[in-house]
């Protein structure tokens, strides 16, 4: 299990090539969002976080340096590309940043719990540890789901302080609300 800091470092490690047309990078942005949403719906929070951070890094750090975005030529195609890029920055990036913050809290709490439970397990398994501590433990039912229990505890801890954007579906999986949609059509994507 990785921390949000480790995942963030991994997310910004990719190659960016200014000679690749911006329209392809804009398609990549859409693909990154789809992959992040699919990963989250499947319960892979770490991969979702990584894809969202990569998306924000691409939009805010890499694409502004692209020659087509920086170009001041009055070319109609570059103008449309810049317009689409600006729409991403104004509409989607703020929503994604909010999602990243929520996922970051969840990942850090899970990482902290994982680290603590691992440390406790190691200390119990160490030679010289008393076996009486293990005998006093309460046995949990076979159908007890520790991951689900921890998610519930995290949700309860964070619920009074802020509005949760994470919702639970009927089957127990978590779901984020839909992101703002861009205004179609996208000529650069055709």
Which domain CATH number covers 44?
A: 1.20.58
Q: What is the DSSP string of 145-183?
A: -HHHHHHHHHHHHHTTTS----EE-TTS-EEPPPPPPPP
Would residue 131 count as lying in a domain?
no
64 occurs within a structural domain: yes
- Indicate if the pLDDT at residue 47 is higher than 80: yes
Say if 139 falls within a structural domain. Answer: no
Is the pLDDT reported for residue 161 higher than 50?
no
Confidence band of 6 (pLDDT split at 50, 70, 90): very high
Considering only 89-98, 116-125, 128-137, 149-158, which range has the smallest mean pLDDT?
A: 128-137
CB 32 within 8 A of CB 62: no
Query: Considering the domain boundaries, does residue 68 fall inside one?
Result: yes
pLDDT over 90 (residue 44): yes
Identify the pLDDT of residue 34.
96
Smallest Cα–Cα separation from 48: which of 106, 111, 118, 94? 106
Nearest CA-CA partner of 82 in 69, 92, 95: 69
pLDDT tier for residue 175 given thresholds of 50, 70 and 90: low
Across 21-28, average pLDDT: 92
* Number of domains comprising the chain: 1
Percent of the chain with pLDDT over 90: 43
- CA nearest to 37, candidates 112, 110, 95, 105: 95
Q: 4 vs 152, which has greater pLDDT? A: 4
Q: How confident is the model at residue 145 (pLDDT cuts 50, 70, 90)?
A: confident
Band of residue 19 on the pLDDT scale cut at 50, 70, 90: very high
78-101 confidence digits (pLDDT tens)? 777 888 888 989 999 999 999 999
What does pTM read for this prediction? Answer: 0.63
Considering the domain boundaries, does residue 134 fall inside one? no
What is the 8-class DSSP label of residue 103? H
133 domain-assigned: no
Strands (DSSP E) along the chain, which ranges?
A: 167-168, 174-175
Range of the domain at 76: 4-124+146-189
Percentage above 70 pLDDT, the chain: 67
- Flag whether 50 is in a domain: yes
Q: Average pLDDT of the chain?
A: 79
- The answer to whether residue 137 is domain-embedded is no
């Amino acid at each position: 299990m990785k921390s949000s800091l480790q995942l963030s470092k991994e997310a910004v490690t990719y190659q960016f090539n200014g000679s690749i047309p911006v329209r392809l990078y804009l398609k990549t942005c859409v693909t990154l969002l789809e992959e992040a949403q699919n990963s989250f719906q499947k319960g892979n929070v770490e991969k979702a976080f990584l894809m969202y951070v990569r998306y924000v890094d691409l939009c805010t750090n890499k694409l502004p340096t692209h020659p087509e975005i920086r170009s001041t030529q009055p070319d109609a195609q570059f103008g449309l590309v810049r317009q689409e890029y600006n729409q991403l920055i104004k509409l989607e990036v703020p929503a994604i940043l909010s999602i990243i913050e929520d996922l970051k809290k969840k990942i850090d709490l899970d990482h902290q719990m994982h680290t603590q439970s691992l440390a406790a397990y190691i200390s119990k398994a160490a030679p010289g540890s008393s076996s009486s501590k293990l005998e006093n433990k309460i046995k949990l039912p076979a159908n007890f789901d520790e991951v689900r229990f921890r998610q519930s505890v995290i949700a309860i801890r964070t619920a009074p302080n802020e509005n949760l954007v994470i919702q639970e579906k009927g089957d127990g999986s978590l779901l984020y609300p839909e992101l703002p949609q861009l205004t179609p059509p996208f000529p650069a994507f055709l």
